[in-house]
C-alpha cells in the first residue's frame, strides 16, 4: 500500500513541477511578445480605444478608480482566491474589479444617480 502511495505522490509531484515549468515558459514568451509588439508599434502603450472615445467627447467627465489591494480583498472573500491568486492574479483582479463595479453601480442607484459604470483594462 505504501509503495502505491509513494508512486502516486511522485507522479503528482512530477506533473506539478512540469506544469509550473510550462507556466513560467508561457509567461516569459508573453513578455517577449509584448516587448516585440512595442518595438513594432510604439503607440501600443497608449490608452485603449474605448477611453479615447470617452475623452473625445468634450461634455464627458470621468472618475477613475484603481484598487490597490485587490489580492487582499479577494482573499478576504474566498479562500480559493488566496490559494490560486499567485497562479492567476489577472483573473482574481478582474473578478475584484467586476465586483467593485457592481457595488458602485448599486450604491449610485441608491442615491438616484444615473451612471454608466464600465471597466477599462490597461495594457
Same domain? 2 vs 19: yes
pLDDT, position 35: 86
- Cell numbers describing residue 31: 513578455
Averaged pLDDT, 84-104 = 83
What would the pLDDT profile of 35-60 be if each residue is shown by its tens digit? 887 787 665 555 666 666 666 665 56
Same domain? 40 vs 52: no
Please name which of 7, 110, 117 lies closest in space to residue 64, comparing C-alpha atoms. 117
Q: Report the number of distinct structural domains present in the chain.
A: 2
Same domain? 57 vs 37: no
Same domain? 63 vs 102: yes
Same domain? 6 vs 40: yes
Look up cell 503607440; give the residue.
43
- Per the structure, the complete domain to which residue 83 belongs is given by 46-123
Amino acid at each position: 500500500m505504501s509503495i502505491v502511495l509513494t508512486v502516486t505522490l511522485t507522479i503528482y509531484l512530477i506533473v506539478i513541477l512540469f506544469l509550473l515549468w510550462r507556466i513560467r515558459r508561457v509567461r516569459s514568451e508573453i513578455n517577449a511578445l509584448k516587448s516585440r509588439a512595442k518595438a513594432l508599434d510604439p503607440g501600443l502603450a497608449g490608452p485603449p480605444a474605448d477611453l479615447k472615445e470617452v475623452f473625445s467627447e468634450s461634455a464627458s467627465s470621468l472618475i477613475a478608480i484603481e484598487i490597490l489591494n485587490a489580492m487582499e480583498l479577494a482573499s478576504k472573500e474566498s479562500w480559493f482566491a488566496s490559494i490560486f491568486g499567485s497562479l492567476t492574479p489577472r483573473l482574481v483582479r478582474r473578478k475584484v474589479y467586476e465586483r467593485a463595479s457592481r457595488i458602485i453601480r448599486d450604491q449610485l442607484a441608491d442615491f438616484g444617480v444615473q451612471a454608466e459604470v464600465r471597466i477599462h483594462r490597461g495594457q
